[in-house]
Amino acid sequence: MFGIGFSELILIFVVALLVLGPKRLPEVAKTLGRFYREIRSTVDEVKEVVVEEPKPKHQHHQYIPPQINEEIELEEEKKEEMKEKLKGEKITFKKNQENEINESGNKES
């Protein structure tokens, strides 16, 4: 514990007993114990956070030429257009399915 041997611990206890007296020593010991527990729990919480959250790796910012940026933007636009087109086709497909179900239901009647 803190690199303190048993003999040094006894010496600290005797000095504390002489300075504080037998009446205040238990109160001070309780207070120090509570303080130590609070510090220890805070240190444990910080350790958990540090262990759980990995350190970010060094990110190197690379230069991207403007031509490449333009190509990336065009590809993103094409991607969005395809999403919209597929969304419209999905709606049309669902409507066609509903119509087929309604027609087959009408034929069975």
What is the rounded radius of gyration, in angstroms, for the C-alpha atoms of the chain?
37
* 47: phi then psi, degrees, rounded to nearest 5: -60, -45
3-state secondary structure of 27: helix
Is 103 within a domain? yes
Domain hosting residue 108, numbered range? 78-109
Asked if residue 3 and residue 38 are part of one domain, the reply reads yes
60 located within any domain: no
pLDDT above 70: residue 59: no
In a domain, 30, yes or no: yes
5 and 40 inside one domain: yes
C-alpha of 53 from chain center: 6
Q: What pLDDT does 39 receive?
A: 93
Average pLDDT over residues 35-61: 78
Percent of the chain's residues with pLDDT above 70:
84
Question: Do 1 and 45 belong together in one domain?
Answer: yes
108: confidence class by pLDDT, cuts 50, 70, 90: low
Q: What is the pLDDT of residue 60?
A: 61
Is residue 16 predicted with pLDDT exceeding 80?
Answer: yes
Same structural domain, 7 and 44: yes
Q: Which residue has the tokens 């669902």?
A: 94
Report how many domains make up the chain: 2
> Does residue 13 share a domain with residue 50?
yes
Q: Which residue, chain included where needed, has tokens 């993103």?
A: 76
Q: Is residue 61 part of a domain?
A: no
